[in-house]
Structure 1
Amino acid sequence: MHLTDRVSLGDVRITGDGYLVTDARIARTGIQIYAGREVGRPDLDRVRVYRPEAEVFARDALASLAHRPVTLDHPDEAVTAKNWRRHSVGITGDEVARDGTFVRVPMVLMDAAAISAVQDGKRELSCGYTCDLKFDAGKTPEGEAYDAVQTNIRANHLAIVSAGRAGSDCRIGDDADEEQGMTLQKVTVDGITVEMSDTAAQVVSKVQKQLADATAALAKANTDHAAAIAAKDGDLAKKDAEIDALKGKVLDAAALDAAVRARGDLVAKAKAIAPGVVTDGKSDAEIRHAVVAAKIGDAAIKDKPAAYIDARFDILAEGVKPADPVRDALRSGPAPAAQTTDAAYTSMVTGLQDAWKGQQKGAA
């Protein structure tokens, strides 16, 4: 695949022979943005291409930048021995060196028209090269995402172009872009579409992603917080309901006294109506049911509603008075002494009863 990069021409000097000599950065590592059509993917608007350090600074890649023809604008064909004389206006040197994340190479222009063009402001450089492009998405060691990777980078020529990115950053583009000027990327920022350089577009895209991630994280935190508050509110409401329910079950002193009296009256009536009825451990309704059943039989009240049982109990209670042990004891007097059949006790009582008879005989 034939591709091109752009960089700014470095400081220049003119030799005694009139040649222009300079030393420039012409390639770099990292991610560069391509239009999809530039890399054979017209279905994509843009492609993030990663140039690994190992590929950019590979020995063969660096060696390919030495002794390359320099052209004025990109030719319509690759520069070879057959067309070199027609296209070349200079040549690169052999002292190719790494300069941070860039590749620096010396060059000399020997064509007067090309030198004049540079002096008039045509100072951008664009490296034409071939490479293998593999669409294999991933992330750089710095965590930046990419869509494809460049390998086997080999330089063909270095062109002087009229427009390009300011500074020494590299730029990839096709010939039409180089002839017409710098290609700008369209980026939407806060609803407004603006055009900017690839580097600026990458920075904006990265910041937009970070902002979107932060916004999503904040929204999730707010949602989780709201859910936690709602859960706590639910727990508090449940506790309040339980407290209110317990309060409703607690009797005050007067109500407790009334409940005790009512229970006592019920038990007394039940015992008066049916003395043998068991009341311990039974509810009020169970006591009424047992009393009515004892008086009129279970069959008579089978499947009868509670209201019927209560009414029958009240009717039975009207004809009796509740037992009053204290009142009954006062009316009947003290209980008779218990009788005994003990012979000694009987003999003693008889002797005391007949003692007066002996006294009468002595007196006579």
Structure 2
Amino acid sequence: MKRNNPDRLAFDRASVRTYSKDGVLHVSVSPISKAMICPYYGREIPDSEALGLEPNRIYYLLRDPDELKKAAPTFNNLPLLNKHIPISAHDLPKENIVGTTGSEAAFVAPYLNNSLAVWDAAAIGGIESEEENELSSAYHYRADMTPGEYEGEHYDGVMRDLAGNHVSLVPDGRAGPDVVVGDKLPEEMKEMKKKITAKNIARRTALSVYLRPLLAQDAALDKKDLTELVVTHASGKALAAAVAKQFKGKLAQDAELKEDEIEKTTDTAADEADDDEKKPAEDDDEILQTVLSALEGKVNGDVLAKIKAAITGQAQDADPDADPDDGKKKPAEDENDDDKVAKPAMDAAIKTARTQARKEAVKDFNAIRQAEIEVKPLVGDVVAMDSAEDIYRYALEQQEVEIEGVHPSAFRSMVKMQLSAHQAAKPGKGLAMDSKTVIGFATRFPKANKLVRS
């Protein structure tokens, strides 16, 4: 029986988003949890030993709609974090707080909804770029291990007495101690759900083509390693970071891995790959030439030259899955049913690649023009810059904004904040503060440090 999808909840559409004059993102309504059946290891369930649960057995728990409705007020005014960390008044991870939930939590089947405010520019950038635009609630609960059925599906127990702890932007981090659980699957459980698909084979092939000319002669490029990378890293960004980490120290002299190039190359290969596509395969020469054409303009010239040299100058490397020593296919142990869809998958990837370069060029051109227009009030006309990211970075540097350690996806949001501040600073529209009214907490409440809890 197919289970409800326990994946995280995405932010609502842009129509519910607004920005304050200071650049704060307000989301008028967004789902933060959902009534559904989810799998948990016994060790994740509170009081598991007392309940006699097996640590490594999977139990299906119902997040009951009535319990969510009853608990809705406890999800008001909770901190919004950039990763799952259980919080308390005595242990508040201030550096991880990027916003707050609102005070309108309400259960509208099957979702628990609330408004949100996101204060942090980097977090806003992650939402806008859709790299970190999903939500996961964390909450306390009591496990009632009375089995039953919900919407025709069996469950082993019910989550009772829910009480919100925090809401997190994911995919960063996971749930903390047993009594505070995030609405995400444990990593081990995610692995059980992953399969080799045509898309992953296409991503693996593209990754192999990209990596081979960059590696040192004595560095191995094992198909099994590449398979594990693409299977365990679903997003192009995560895959690129993992590849950069794994192959650091294995590169040829002066070779350089660039995460943005890996991301673009593998995402292009995956975009239109389809498990059911059974089109006739092109011959190897045509495939390789098409790949080269697709990569042109998407990776820098040095990398493209090395890829061309590897393909046209070393016939044994033409097949990404061939053994680099003798040009023959790897032993039969590496061949399995999944490889039967390799050709259709590659065909689908190539089909996409044929038009992707042109689309990317138009997209990049439009992004550059937009960036030039947006930064003009801050720095005037900007010319001779290769990307929108460079333009936003230049504008922020000219405004003396600290951007060290900030992901480039946040630059545009930071520029918007500077524009808001720039507009607010104009005569008659500024935000005034009377120096006599801006006093410290200790001055306003001199006896606060003497308060004792009864």
Which TM-score bucket, shorter chain as reference?
0.3 to 0.5
Larger gyration radius, structure 1 or structure 2: 1
TM, length-normalised to structure 1: 0.42
